[in-house]
Each structure stands twice: as C-alpha cells, then as structure tokens.
C-alpha cells in the first residue's frame, strides 16, 4: 500500500484538474499579473530617459521643456503601462529600481540605434555615403568626363565610384539591364529602357603628324584625304559607320591602309606615320598634347553627339542625380568652348 502522503497527493489531483478549480486558479494568476498591452510612446521613453540622465523630475522638465507635473504624469503612465515600478519615491527623491535600471539599459541601446539611423539618414541626405557605377566609351575617358567625375568626387569624397569603359552598344545593353547608374554614350539606336539626361553636340577632327602637308590647313576636307593614306575606324562603330558612308559617296576612292576599332588606336597609328585619320575630338586633344599629333577641323562635319544616359526602370538616387549634374556642367562647358 502506498504511503499516506502519496494517497493524499493522488486524492488531491482530481480536484486541481477540475474545470472550476482551474478557472479559480487562472483568475488568481490574472489578478497577480494583469496583461496590460504595451502602449509606450516616444515621449514616455524620452521622459524616463531624461529623469534617469538628469537625476530628477525638475532637471528633466527643463531639458524637455515640459512642466514638472507633466513629467511626473507621463512617468506614472509609463509605469502603469509596463506593469512595474521604475522608481521608488522617497519624498521628493526618485531612486531607480533594479527593473527600471534594466529597462533603461535596453532603452539606451535603442537610442544608440536611433542615433545611428539618424546619422545614416543625414549621410544619405548630404551624399556622405553610397556607391555609383558609371560607364562610358573609351573616347570619353578624356576631356569633360574626367573633369565631371573629378568635380563630383571633390564635392562628395565619401561616394565611391566604379568607372568602366565599354563600346556604345554595350553601354546601352548594360544600362537597360540596370548594371550601371549613369552612362555616357552615343545617341542610342533604341531608347527603350533608357532616359537621356542631356545631348551634347561635338564634331570629329582629322589628325596627322605635325610635319604632314595637311597640317598647314585650318580645315581638312574629305577630298583632301582621298590623296592620303587613311587609317580608318571599324564601320561597326558610330564614327566608322559615318565615315564609311562618306567615303562611299566620294567620286574618288579612299586609300584605307589600316582599319582599327578605336580612336585611340587610330591616333597611335597616325603618330607612327601610318597616315591620317578622322577621330573623336577628345582623344585627339588628349593625345595631341605630347606634340606627336595635330588635329584640324574636318569637312563635311562628322557628328560626335554625346548623351548622358541612365536606366529608365530605376529611380536615380540623389548621388546619381548629383553626378549627372556635374557631368552635364562639364559637357556644356566643353561644348561651348568647341563651338
């Protein structure tokens, strides 16, 4: 036979499991720990923090520009919402309880997070953080584009820029695929998925060695270069395509000794004595600084129109807008100087 204590325990068990007994127990538990939904406001927390930091209601009221009764009332409201005392009242003194201290430690962590978010927001607003992806044609690595990038970087040194160069066709594809934030290229064949933030008109020039007979002329014509060895640009490019159509329209054939892909390569060949070439004005101006090349106006005009482009399906960031503005200013200045 089991001991009496065991029988007693068994005998009491059915009573504690009966619905009536359980409901009474639940009611007693509820009276001890009322479930009060947390409805704290930012002002409640600010009042509590100010009282802890300043050491009292009077100093906290001055800091928050509230009356002392308003501070005391909100402090009492917060304690009622939380369900425990934050302070012990000793006359006019407030002594923080262990629960209040634990709660304030967590509140301090929250304030640090809020301060961090505030700093992040300020950095974003003032363009002190971020990353931009920029793409342009190799020819635009000279002249106004570097000036615009340098000006932007000087104003916003904390914005990191990734700069890549690709062909005009590749730039269009990359921008429509959202691989870059801003790009500079020729007039797109298809504007679907692209937005032009500005068009800037320039003209190609004819480059030659300084001792070349055509260097004495202010303007070199298509007829002039029919009598010369010409370094051509691949017709798959915009400049090369325009030149091919021009050469095919001339009554005399053009002696294309070498055909290359870029203006940079063409200028290198011209400097080496391979002939003359019609190239973009920025490459010609940059490579001509060494004295091995000179550039002259070319007639008829071969347009070299440049567009600042961005993806249509992406809202430009503040940093992207600022970069576009710097590039547009540099391009406008260059356009005015060349006209």
Q: How far is it, in rounded angstroms, from Cα 110 to Cα 314? A: 33
User: In the predicted model, what is the mean pLDDT of residues 275-281?
Assistant: 96
Interval 112-122: pLDDT, tens: 888 888 787 88
Domain ranges of the chain: 42-107, 129-198+306-337, 201-304
- pLDDT for 38: 54
Q: How far is it, in rounded angstroms, from Cα 148 to Cα 154? A: 10
CATH class of 129-198+306-337: alpha beta
User: In the predicted model, what is the mean pLDDT of residues 307-327?
Assistant: 94
CATH class of 42-107: mainly alpha
Fold designation for 201-304: D-Maltodextrin-Binding Protein; domain 2 (3.40.190)
Model's pTM, two decimal places? 0.68
Bigger pLDDT: 132 or 38?
Answer: 132
Same topology between domain 129-198+306-337 and domain 201-304: yes
Confidence band of 22 (pLDDT split at 50, 70, 90): very low
User: In the predicted model, what is the mean pLDDT of residues 79-102?
Assistant: 90
Burial class (CB in 10 A: 0-12, 13-18, 19+), 141: middle
Report whether pLDDT(259) > 70.
yes
Interval 153-196: pLDDT, tens: 999 999 999 999 998 889 999 999 999 999 999 887 778 899 99
User: In the predicted model, what is the mean pLDDT of residues 148-154?
Assistant: 96
Which percentage of the chain shows pLDDT scores above 70?
A: 89
Lowest-pLDDT range, 54-68, 116-130, 211-225, 306-320? Answer: 116-130
- Least Cα distance to 83 among 100, 66, 105, 71 occurs for 100
CA distances from 29 to 141, 263, 295 (A): 76, 85, 94
In this structure, the chain runs to a length of: 339
């Amino acid at each position: 036979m089991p001991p009496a204590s065991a029988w007693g325990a068994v005998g009491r068990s059915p009573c504690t499991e009966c619905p009536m007994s359980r409901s009474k127990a639940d009611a007693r538990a509820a009276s001890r720990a009322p479930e009060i939904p947390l409805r704290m406001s930012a002002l409640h927390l600010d009042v509590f923090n100010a009282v802890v930091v300043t050491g009292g209601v009077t100093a906290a009221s001055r800091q928050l520009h509230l009356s002392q009764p308003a501070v005391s009332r909100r402090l009492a409201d917060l304690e009622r919402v939380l369900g425990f005392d934050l302070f012990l009242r000793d006359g006019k003194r407030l002594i923080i309880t262990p629960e209040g201290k634990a709660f304030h430690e967590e509140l301090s962590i929250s304030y640090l997070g809020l301060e961090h978010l505030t700093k992040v927001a300020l950095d974003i607003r003032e363009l002190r953080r971020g990353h931009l992806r920029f793409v342009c044609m190799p020819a635009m690595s000279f002249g106004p584009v570097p000036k615009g990038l340098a000006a932007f970087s000087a104003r916003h040194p904390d914005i990191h820029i990734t700069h890549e160069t690709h062909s005009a066709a590749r730039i269009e594809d990359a921008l429509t695929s959202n691989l870059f934030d801003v790009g500079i290229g020729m007039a797109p064949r298809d504007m679907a998925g692209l937005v032009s933030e500005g068009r800037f008109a320039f003209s190609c020039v004819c480059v030659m060695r300084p001792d070349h007979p055509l260097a004495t002329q202010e303007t070199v014509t298509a007829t002039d270069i029919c009598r010369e060895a010409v370094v051509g640009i691949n017709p798959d490019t915009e400049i090369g395509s325009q030149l091919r159509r021009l050469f095919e329209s001339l009554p005399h054939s053009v002696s294309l000794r070498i055909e290359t892909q870029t203006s940079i390569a063409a200028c290198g060949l011209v400097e080496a004595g391979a002939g003359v070439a019609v190239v973009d004005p920025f490459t010609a101006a940059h490579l001509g600084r060494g004295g091995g090349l000179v550039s002259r106006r070319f007639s008829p005009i071969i347009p070299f129109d440049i567009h600042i482009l961005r993806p249509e399906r992406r809202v430009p960031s503040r940093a992207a807008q600022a970069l576009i503005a710097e590039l547009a200013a540099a391009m406008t200045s260059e356009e005015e100087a060349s006209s």
